[in-house]
């Protein structure tokens, strides 16, 4: 880039020096010619001698511009109409700095002979040459500047704009599109460095994604592995509740069983969330009779607080295992946050079986309802002193969407979850 500017400055300097030399030569070529008195005397004498044939002036002095007016202002001879246009008197000639010489024969005034000032004619000729030369030089300089601007636009501005657009793409996370390196691009090394940076950022992003995937796989693996010992603890607690007769010990065992139930729900949430992020939260829908819903509600009603109505007979298009997970999450939340009776009712709405699960707790603020199905969001009031991951309703909502159903939250006379189960 520095060499290019240096070459341009040198070229422009040479052009200016050449222009000054040409202008100097042209200007100094002007010489102030003095009036040739002998020639003027000859002109006057010839005009007097050929007063009857003024055209003889042109024969005697070819190439000389002259105007010969009679005593009464009539044109006797005119060598050039353009030079003497509008001149019909001595006053007109004097206004244009012309030489006026009287022609007389003794006391008899014959007329006036007029010729342009030699110095003025030479000056006008030189000025015309200077004007044209100056115009040519200016055109040459303008052409060189335009060429230089075109060069700058092609080799500086446009590559820089491409770099700017490339930086914008990088900022937006598009790391797969390479930056093309043009031949003779003065940003060549810089462009190459930019593209190397893109490749390194892309590799770093891929490594980061791979690391996150491994972390999620680890969470999924641990959540799955921990469910087995937690289930074992729950089974042992159920066995001890039957065997132990001491009411105090049996109460403690029941408390341990409830905690294992909570841990099992949390582990299920973590496992489902990890599988969802890994793209493995799969749903396989099939035609299922509606009586399966009663069984699922009964399985998850470990505290026997659910008052369920009769399920209408119909065929549902659902994933039974995933629906079990959804119902378990909802009933578990009611146990945790309300710990009241839970009413379950059914009805038909359009092409869905509408299942409504309502507890009689404090409910949730209206402004929080749209947020409760967000990942890791927990209610500010209800969840303040409760354990949880904020994943239960999020996973339940996602599973319902994948089953082509819907999960709707409301808070009237308690907390209500409405499940729209698609009919076959």
> Which pLDDT tens digits describe the chain residue by residue (424 residues)?
556 666 766 777 777 777 777 766 765 655 555 557 788 888 888 888 888 888 888 888 887 888 888 888 888 888 888 888 888 888 888 888 788 889 888 888 888 988 887 666 566 666 777 778 777 778 877 887 788 778 777 777 777 777 777 777 777 777 777 766 665 555 666 667 777 777 888 888 888 877 777 777 666 666 655 766 777 787 788 888 878 888 888 888 888 877 887 787 777 777 666 666 666 567 889 999 999 999 999 888 888 899 999 999 999 999 998 898 899 889 988 888 888 999 999 999 989 999 999 999 888 888 888 888 887 777 666 555 566 566 778 888 988 998 999 999 998 878 999 999 999 8
Q: Are residues 212 and 307 in the same domain?
A: no
Q: 105 — phi, psi (to 5°)?
A: -115, 90
Query: Is the residue at 149 inside a domain?
Result: no
Q: Are residues 303 and 252 in the same domain?
A: no
What tokens does 298 get?
A: 């009964």
Single residue among 239, 258, 280 that ends a domain in this structure: 280
Q: Are residues 305 and 259 in the same domain?
A: no
Q: Are residues 306 and 355 in the same domain?
A: yes
Query: Tell me, what CATH number does 392's domain have?
Result: 3.30.565.10
Query: Is the residue at 228 inside a domain?
Result: yes
Single residue among 280, 308, 335 that ends a domain in this structure: 280
Query: Is the residue at 255 inside a domain?
Result: yes
Give the pLDDT score at 340. 92
pTM here?
A: 0.45
CA-CA distance, 288 to 315, in Å (whole number)?
6
Residue 42: which of 62, 57, 59, 63 has the closest Cα?
Answer: 57
Give the pLDDT score at 341. 93
Residue 391: which of 234, 265, 291, 239 has the closest Cα?
Answer: 265
Q: Which residue has the tokens 């909802």?
A: 330
Q: Are residues 286 and 268 in the same domain?
A: no
Kindly report the number of other CB atoms within 10 A of residue 40's CB atom.
14
Query: Tell me, what CATH number does 256's domain have?
Result: 1.10.287
Q: Are residues 358 and 269 in the same domain?
A: no
Residue 196's region, left for phi above 0, alpha for psi from -120 to 50, else beta, is alpha
Single residue among 116, 142, 169 that ends a domain in this structure: 116
Kindly report the number of other CB atoms within 10 A of residue 410's CB atom.
16
The sign of the dihedral angle between the CA atoms of 224, 230, 236, 239 is negative
CA-CA distance, 408 to 154, in Å (whole number)?
59
What's the total number of domains in the chain? 3
Q: Are residues 262 and 295 in the same domain?
A: no
**Which range of residues forms the domain containing residue 373?**
282-422
β pairing state of 352-358 and 75-78: unpaired
Dihedral angle of Cα 257, 263, 264, 270, to the nearest 10 degrees: 180
Q: Are residues 305 and 403 in the same domain?
A: yes
Residue 106's region, left for phi above 0, alpha for psi from -120 to 50, else beta, is left
β pairing state of 286-289 and 406-410: unpaired
CA-CA distance, 176 to 159, in Å (whole number)?
19
Q: Are residues 294 and 275 in the same domain?
A: no
Q: Are residues 351 and 409 in the same domain?
A: yes
Query: Is the residue at 61 inside a domain?
Result: yes
Give the pLDDT score at 95. 82
Q: Are residues 349 and 404 in the same domain?
A: yes
Query: Is the residue at 291 inside a domain?
Result: yes
Give the pLDDT score at 345. 94
Query: Is the residue at 185 inside a domain?
Result: no
- Name every residue whose Cβ is closer than 8 Å to that of residue 350 and which is 6 or more positions away in sequence: none
**Residue 181 · residue 195 · CB < 8 Å:** yes
Query: Is the residue at 355 inside a domain?
Result: yes
Q: Are residues 293 and 261 in the same domain?
A: no
Query: Is the residue at 135 inside a domain?
Result: no
CA-CA distance, 336 to 137, in Å (whole number)?
92
β pairing state of 416-422 and 352-358: antiparallel
């Amino acid at each position: 880039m520095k060499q290019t500017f240096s070459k341009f400055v040198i070229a422009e300097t040479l052009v200016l020096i050449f222009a000054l030399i040409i202008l100097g030569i042209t200007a100094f070529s002007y010489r102030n010619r003095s009036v040739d008195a002998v020639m003027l005397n000859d002109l006057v004498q010839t005009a007097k001698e050929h007063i009857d044939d003024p055209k003889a002036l042109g024969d005697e002095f070819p190439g000389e511009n002259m105007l010969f007016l009679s005593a009464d202002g009539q044109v006797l001879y005119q060598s050039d109409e353009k030079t003497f246009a509008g001149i019909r008197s001595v006053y007109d000639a004097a206004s244009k700095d012309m030489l006026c010489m009287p022609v007389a024969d003794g006391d008899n005034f014959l007329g006036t002979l007029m010729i342009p000032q030699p110095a003025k004619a030479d000056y006008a000729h030189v000025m015309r040459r200077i004007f044209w030369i100056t115009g040519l030089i200016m055109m040459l300089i303008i052409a060189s500047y335009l060429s230089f601007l075109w060069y700058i636009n092609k080799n500086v501005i446009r590559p820089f704009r491409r770099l700017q657009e490339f930086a914008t793409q990088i900022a937006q996370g598009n790391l797969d599109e390479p930056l093309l390196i043009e031949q003779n691009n003065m940003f060549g090394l810089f462009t190459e460095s930019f593209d190397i940076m893109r490749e390194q950022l892309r590799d770093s992003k891929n490594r980061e994604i791979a690391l996150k995937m491994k972390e999620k796989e680890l969470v999924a693996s641990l959540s799955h592995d921990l469910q087995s010992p937690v289930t074992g603890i729950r089974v042992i607690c159920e066995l001890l509740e039957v065997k132990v007769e001491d009411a105090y010990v049996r109460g403690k065992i029941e408390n341990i069983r409830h905690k294992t139930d909570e841990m099992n729900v949390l582990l299920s949430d973590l496992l489902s969330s990890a599988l969802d992020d890994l793209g493995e939260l799969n749903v396989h829908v099939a035609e299922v009779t509606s009586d399966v819903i009663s069984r699922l509600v009964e399985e998850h009603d470990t505290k026997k607080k659910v008052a369920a109505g009769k399920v209408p007979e119909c065929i549902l298009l659902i994933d039974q295992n995933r629906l079990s997970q959804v119902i378990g999450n909802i009933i578990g939340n009611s146990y945790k946050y309300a710990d009241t009776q839970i009413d379950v009712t059914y009805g038909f709405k359009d092409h869905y079986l509408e299942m409504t699960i309502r507890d009689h707790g404090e409910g949730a603020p209206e402004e929080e309802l749209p947020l409760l199905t967000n990942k890791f969001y927990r209610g500010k009031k209800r969840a303040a002193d409760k354990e949880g991951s904020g994943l239960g309703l999020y996973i339940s909502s996602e599973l319902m969407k994948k089953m082509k159903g819907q999960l709707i939250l409301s808070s009237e006379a308690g907390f209500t979850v409405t499940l729209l189960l698609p009919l076959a």
